[in-house]
Amino acid sequence: MDDATLLEAIGQRRDTSAFEELCRRYATKLRRYVAGRGVGDAESIVQEVMLVVWRRADRFDPGRASVATWLYTIARNRATDALRKRGRPVPDPRDPAFVVTQARTPDPAPDAATARHQQIAAIRYAMTHLPAEQRALLNRVYIDGQTIAEAARAMNVPLGTAKSRLRLALASVRTQLSVSHG
């Protein structure tokens, strides 16, 4: 059963075996991520994340993100809260200033971008084929929770070099995904 089907079973039928399966798939990886961010009690945080998933499964929108991305953002929000004691500011769709469509930038249509978001395996594949120094930079930022400046210092390269590597890495993952998904 795929992740989205499991989440649907939890959200609509309160299916405890679907919840168990989702825990088996993701709890260990989530714990590794939360611990890597430097949060003290990573196991408690993962318990909370999974209970949030249990309670809020009905709010998951498969049109907006994959299940893995949804889990990642919940764990990120919880880890960030634990580290900072303050939430980070976010755009609010209820805001009268909120702009839904934009004329200026002829970027890919949102639905094409969304289709790419579903392809966690394809993204992972593209990332594993990046040059080692680009991959190392992304690992430091995503997994170790470093800023670009901190990663640059740790890798002993100028900040400008780190930013260039980041641009190249993201561009090459995007290119690879647009090639493989047309």
Where on the phi/psi map is residue 156: left (φ > 0), alpha (ψ -120 to 50), or beta? Answer: left
Q: Which is nearer to other proteins, 89 or 182 (CB)?
A: 89
x/- letters, 82..121, toward other proteins (CB under 8 A): --x-xxxxxxxxxxxxxxxxx-xx-xx-x--xx-xx--xx
CB of 80 to other proteins, least distance (A): 4
Distances (CA, A) of 45 to 50, 78, 99, 133, 145: 9, 7, 34, 31, 16
* Token pair for 68: 């893995």
Question: According to CB under 8 A, which one of 161, 163, 172, 176 is a site residue for other proteins?
Answer: 163
x/- letters, 38..77, toward other proteins (CB under 8 A): -----x--xxxxxxx-xxx--x----xxx-xx-xxxxxxx
How many other CB atoms sit within 10 Å of the CB of residue 87?
9
DSSP 8-state assignment for residue 177: H
The answer to whether residue 179 forms part of the interface with other proteins (CB under 8 A) is: no
Label residue 71 exposed, middle or buried (CB < 10 Å: 0-12, 13-18, 19+): buried
CB of 156 to other proteins, least distance (A): 18
How many other CB atoms sit within 10 Å of the CB of residue 78?
19
CB of 51 to other proteins, least distance (A): 4
DSSP 8-state assignment for residue 73: H
Distance CA 177, CA 105 (A): 20
CB of 1 to other proteins, least distance (A): 16
Q: Which is nearer to other proteins, 2 or 98 (CB)?
A: 98
x/- letters, 142..161, toward other proteins (CB under 8 A): xx-xxxx-----------x-
Q: Which of residues 125-144 bind other proteins (CB under 8 A)?
A: 125, 127-128, 138-139, 141-143
Number of residues that bind other proteins (CB under 8 A): 93
CB of 144 to other proteins, least distance (A): 10
Which residue shows structure tokens 């210092």? 153
